[in-house]
Amino acid sequence: MKQLIVQPDFLKLGIATTVHYHVYNGILFYNLSLMFLRLLSLCLIFLLLLAINICCGDVTLAPDQILATLTGGQGSDSAISNIIWQLRLPRLLIAAIVGACLSLAGFVMQTISRNSLADPYLTGVSSGAGLAVALAFITRVDLAVVPLFAFAGGLAVSVIVARLAQTNNGLSVNRLLLGGIGVAAITGGAMTLLLTMNPVFSQTQGIFFWLAGGISGRGWPEFWPAFFCTIIGITAVLILSKPLRLLSLGPNAAQSLGLNVPVMQWSLLISAVLLCAAAVSVSGLVGFVGLIGPHITRKLFRNGERLQIICATMIGACLVLLSDLVARTLYQGQELPLGTLLSVCGGPFFLWLVYQHKEQES
Amino acid sequence: MKLSASNLSVGATLTPVLANLNLEITAGKILVILGPNGSGKSTLLKTLARQLKPLAGSVKLDDKDISSLPISEFAKKVAYVAQNIDPQVTLSIEEYVALGRTPHQKWWQWQQSEADRAAIETAIVSTALTELKERPISQLSGGEQQRAAIAIALAQKPTFMLLDEPTAHLDFKHQVELMRLLKRLKTEQHLGLVIVLHDLSAAAYLADEVLLLTKEDGQFLSVAVSGPVSEVLKESNLESSYGVQFRSICERGEMHYFVNIADAGEGKS
């Protein structure tokens, strides 16, 4: 078997692809490297989930109907067109964005903290968003403005937590995570107090369902701002991919190699917070994607930060697309809250993860 | 080119462990820092490496205060070899050593230039890691990781290299190889080395100048004695610093130092 190594970088993503080929009976056989195959499979799964999400729901649409509606050919129906364009498409795109943002934010947080149990919410985004949303409902603002409140609240509290974590030598990511846990405890308690003591039941219900996490009723107006933030966030992290690799060696080692550690830590943190806040503002608190997505990414793709970044976004998107599919179709006519569904399924996985972590420690 | 400290006070916390220190390291010379545990050797090295801020005084590179230099400029001149690599690192040796070129590249740059590739290759060959190039760091033994840490510092192509107990995890063969490599770096590549060592014989072999730190009982501050090997590494100095009795022997032009392990009262039965 002859070997041809395609160097330096295939698609400049950090995968050196090894293509083995041999000629048998005059036919050329290729044996692509594992990483490339995995990337390809991931793309296929992603596209498949997109397709299934369009088809399934309260009304099951056949693929040929969908194709006809999308291309505007014969067999298209205005009712079906409405379902696809106004309901399904924005919703599944939002699901993909939420998953991508949370997973990538988690990946960045876990890499810079060198702690695989870090969750993007530990930066304080969920606490800030939750409080801001509660405030929004209580002060009876227009429902359309609630996402803005969530975004601003998430951003504000994370910056406060990050400033508290600042030491003489730069950002202490450990202190950041601990600070995030502390803030989450405080706001969690405050929120519960608020919810139980609020006499206006509709407000309480509104806050509760918003926090439970879900993307029902989200349409194009919610999609565009979140999409904009997502693109900025992903681009920022891709540009910062080299500093990300350096920071994975630890802040001291990174500094001795000439990296401006405080500036890079802050930049990556702000990117992660931006991504997370964008997701939370549109979907409420959807848990575990930020924890699980990066883990699956690292297990499948050992190295190459740029590749890992792209795959983390795709894996996150697939996870939420899958969960949203289940949330919509498990019980006919009723929709399960997305965040709760992910927590119920993510909980056992998280326990298994901790067990794994402990095994490696000893 | 010289790296100097003037009236330097160092400490890991706000309490100084060394004060009013004056040092000068020139390129092409080796300074070895010796002393018992807790005397401030690593703290001093880290302050010279800009990992810690001086409590008083300053560290200067060619009369420019190092804290005023941009961090990448400093990293082009001074390389710090830490004692260990983070165990969670999953990079292969080649990828890891390639990160040593960071000070010479733009911060977003992944592309390696010809000069980068050459420097990486030289660094890997000098530390005898060519066969292990593809292996992930986490799968290496302690000694191999130590060599990888030196390789990444070599890839930086610095003028000064600061090493914190580089022989800590090495067996005899690799210790000898490393000592010879460090001496070659001094003579062939004209590097200035500052090395913290525990092994006195290695110190005698390598050092042009020695800094011996002594910790008095009940004192926070350590006392420093510096000078050439023959002056500083006298048995009396060593005993007051380390608290055990030493004997020195000159064998084939190399100085060796021995410690009596058995207590005076112990006898062979």
Q: Do A257 and B108 touch (CB under 8 A)?
A: no
pLDDT level of residue A78 (50, 70, 90 thresholds): confident
- What pLDDT is stored for residue A32 in this prediction? 52
ipTM of the assembly? 0.90
Question: In degrees, to the nearest 5, what angle opens at C-alpha B184 toward C-alphas B183 and B187?
Answer: 90
Q: Domains in chain A, please, with CATH?
A: 94-361 (1.10.3470.10)
Residue A282 has pLDDT above 70, yes or no: yes
3-state secondary structure chain A: CEEEEEEEEECCCCEEEEEEEEEECCEEEEECCHHHHHHHHHHHHHHHHHHHHHHCCCCCCCHHHHHHHHHCCCCCCHHHHHHHHHHHHHHHHHHHHHHHHHHHHHHHHHHHHCCCCCCHHHHCHHHHHHHHHHHHHHCCCCHHHHHHHHHHHHHHHHHHHHHHCEECCEECHHHHHHHHHHHHHHHHHHHHHHHHHCCCHHHHHHHHHHHHCCCCCCCHHHHHHHHHHHHHHHHHHHHCHHHHHHHCCCHHHHHHCCCCHHHHHHHHHHHHHHHHHHHHHHHCCCCCHHHHHHHHHHHHCCCCHHHHHHHHHHHHHHHHHHHHHHHHHCECCECCCHHHHHHHHHHHHHHHHHHHHHHHHC
- Chain B residues with beta carbon closer than 8 angstroms to that of A257: 75, 99-100, 102-103, 152, 156
Residue A7 has pLDDT above 50, yes or no: no
Residues found in chain A = 362
Q: CB-based contact (8 Å) between B11 and chain A?
A: no
Q: Which residue of A has its CA nearest to B84?
A: A253
Q: Do B107 and A302 touch (CB under 8 A)?
A: no
- Chain A residues with beta carbon closer than 8 angstroms to that of B107: 242-243, 259-260, 264
Distance from the A243 Cα atom to the nearest Cα atom in chain B, whole angstroms: 7
Domain map (residue ranges) of chain B:
2-259
Residues found in chain B = 269
Residue B157 has pLDDT above 50, yes or no: yes
Query: In whole numbers, what is the pLDDT of chain B averaged over residues?
Result: 89
Q: Do B103 and A257 touch (CB under 8 A)?
A: yes
Q: CB-based contact (8 Å) between A259 and chain B?
A: yes
Which CATH architecture fits B2-259? 3-Layer(aba) Sandwich (3.40)
Nearest to B129 by CA among B147, B106, B153: B147
Q: CB-based contact (8 Å) between B43 and chain A?
A: no
- What pLDDT is stored for residue A311 in this prediction? 94
**Segment B89-141, tens digit of pLDDT:** 889 999 999 999 999 999 999 999 999 999 999 999 988 899 998 888 988 88
The mean pLDDT of A267-282, rounded to a whole number, is: 91
Nearest to A92 by CA among A254, A215, A252: A215
- Chain A residues with beta carbon closer than 8 angstroms to that of B133: none
Nearest to A217 by CA among A284, A307, A264: A284
Rounded CA separation A317/A101 (Å): 8
Distance from the A304 Cα atom to the nearest Cα atom in chain B, whole angstroms: 9
Q: CB-based contact (8 Å) between B156 and chain A?
A: yes
Q: CB-based contact (8 Å) between B110 and chain A?
A: yes
Q: CB-based contact (8 Å) between A13 and chain B?
A: no
The mean pLDDT of B59-79, rounded to a whole number, is: 93
Select the more confidently predicted residue: A78 or B5. B5
Q: CB-based contact (8 Å) between A14 and chain B?
A: yes
pLDDT level of residue B150 (50, 70, 90 thresholds): very high
Percentage, residues of chain A above pLDDT 90: 24
Q: CB-based contact (8 Å) between B76 and chain A?
A: yes
Q: Do B99 and A245 touch (CB under 8 A)?
A: yes
Question: CA–CA distance from A150 to each of A230, A244, A310 (Å)?
Answer: 16, 28, 26
Q: CB-based contact (8 Å) between B79 and chain A?
A: yes
Q: Do B80 and A256 touch (CB under 8 A)?
A: yes
- Convert B56-86 to b/e letters by CB count within 10 Å (16 or more is b): ebebbbeeeebeebebbebbbbbbbbbeebe
